[in-house]
């Protein structure tokens, strides 16, 4: 098995049974502009510490999987000149063998977190089932994030999935793969920039304690699936729905015109939203991630008590 380099602070926390929260690096390298990404990286690690947990940002540098990054390594992740490629779980082996630099998605972050013994992960949005392109009657474009959740016992805290995805099909697939979906103080599944989609959540929790109780109980049942905890974007940062719908329609046309598929969809769509909304979506993106990571740390602390 490939050796995973776990930062000493993270390793010590795990040995002592302290709360640890995994953080992805794709948000930093591909989801936010240079400069802002580094500030967000610091902010995310700070809110984890403020909640009483230890942050573990995950990436692959020079072919080495890293769980917990120092300041220099965070600089590399946030530097466009470093040329980090976007790594899903299937890409870990090639990136490691070829000595590449890569940023981890939800799927690969969950995999490496699990290997290191981390059970809680805070992020922005989950991948899901894509709608078919106009030239096709069906879509086989399904994010590896869903399979990762289905066979990895990690709690993933996010703001649902982006509204460019087929949310109904995504929720159906999570049900098929026996992944519990919890709404945090909401009965409706969030749609990233929007607090609500048209679809309800199967279960609701109203506190970090309740969420931790569910995780403990779920892990005591047969199977290895994780748990999805969906928290809406803070209300003051929710995008205006009319603006959102217009940008989404324009973004879908842009994807079709360029023939964008697979792992390239999210970066292209995010860039369109960031540019066309004149930064409004950037603020929403940052604040929802911070909110989710804060909740993830609170739940991790509760789990550590157990």
The active-site residue, picked from 8, 9, 16, 24, is 24
- Separation between Cα atoms, residue 26 and residue 47, nearest integer Å: 19
54-61/20-23 β-pairing: parallel
260 CB neighbour count, 10 Å cutoff? 17
Tell me, what's the pLDDT at 165?
87
State pTM to two decimals. Answer: 0.94
The active-site residue, picked from 45, 162, 238, 286, is 162
- Separation between Cα atoms, residue 239 and residue 283, nearest integer Å: 10
Burial class (CB in 10 A: 0-12, 13-18, 19+), 131: middle
Tell me, what's the pLDDT at 163?
80
Tell me, what's the pLDDT at 1?
47
Query: Is 24 assigned a catalytic role?
Result: yes
Query: Is 231 assigned a catalytic role?
Result: no
At residue 249, the 3 state secondary structure works out as helix
Tell me, what's the pLDDT at 149?
96
Residue burial 113-130, b: 16+ Cβ < 10 Å; e: rest: bbebebbbbbbbbbbbbb
Q: How far, CA to CA in Å, does 108 sit from each of 65, 70, 111, 132, 275?
A: 10, 20, 5, 25, 28
- To which residue do tokens 């009657």 refer? 137
pLDDT tens track, the chain, 306 positions:
468 999 999 999 999 999 999 999 999 999 899 999 999 999 999 999 999 999 999 999 999 999 999 999 999 999 999 999 999 999 999 999 999 999 999 999 999 999 999 999 999 999 999 777 555 555 567 899 999 999 999 999 999 998 888 999 999 999 999 999 999 999 999 999 999 999 999 999 999 999 999 999 999 999 999 999 999 999 999 999 999 999 888 888 888 888 887 667 777 887 888 888 888 999 999 999 999 999 999 999 999 998
DSSP secondary-structure letter at 199?
S
């Amino acid at each position: 098995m490939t050796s995973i380099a776990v930062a000493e602070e993270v390793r010590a926390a795990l040995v002592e049974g302290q709360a640890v929260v995994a953080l992805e690096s794709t948000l930093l390298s591909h989801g936010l502009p240079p400069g802002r990404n580094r500030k967000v990286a610091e902010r995310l690690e700070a809110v984890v510490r403020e909640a009483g947990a230890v942050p573990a940002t995950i990436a692959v540098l020079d072919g080495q999987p890293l769980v917990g990054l120092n300041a220099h390594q965070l600089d590399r992740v946030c530097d466009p000149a470093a040329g980090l490629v976007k790594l899903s779980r299937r890409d870990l082996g090639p990136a490691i063998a070829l000595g590449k630099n890569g940023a981890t998605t939800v799927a690969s972050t969950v995999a490496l977190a699990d290997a290191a013994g981390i059970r809680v992960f805070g992020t922005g949005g989950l991948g899901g089932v894509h709608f078919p392109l106009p030239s096709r009657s069906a879509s086989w474009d399904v994010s590896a994030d869903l399979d990762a959740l289905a066979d990895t016992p990690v709690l993933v805290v996010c703001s649902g999935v982006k509204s460019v995805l087929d949310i109904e099909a995504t929720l159906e697939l999570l049900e098929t793969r026996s992944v519990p979906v919890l709404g945090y103080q909401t009965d409706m599944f969030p749609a990233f920039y929007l607090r609500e989609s048209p679809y309800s959540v199967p279960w609701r929790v109203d506190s970090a304690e309740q969420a931790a109780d569910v995780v403990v109980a779920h892990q005591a049942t047969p199977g290895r699936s994780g748990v999805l905890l969906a928290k809406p974007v803070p209300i003051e940062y929710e995008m205006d729905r009319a603006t959102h719908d217009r940008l989404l329609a324009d973004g879908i046309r842009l994807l079709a015109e360029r023939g964008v598929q697979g792992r390239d969809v999210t970066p292209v769509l995010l860039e369109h939203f960031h540019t066309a909304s004149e930064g409004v979506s950037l603020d929403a993106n940052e604040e929802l991630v911070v909110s989710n990571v804060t909740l993830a740390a609170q739940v991790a602390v509760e789990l550590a008590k157990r």
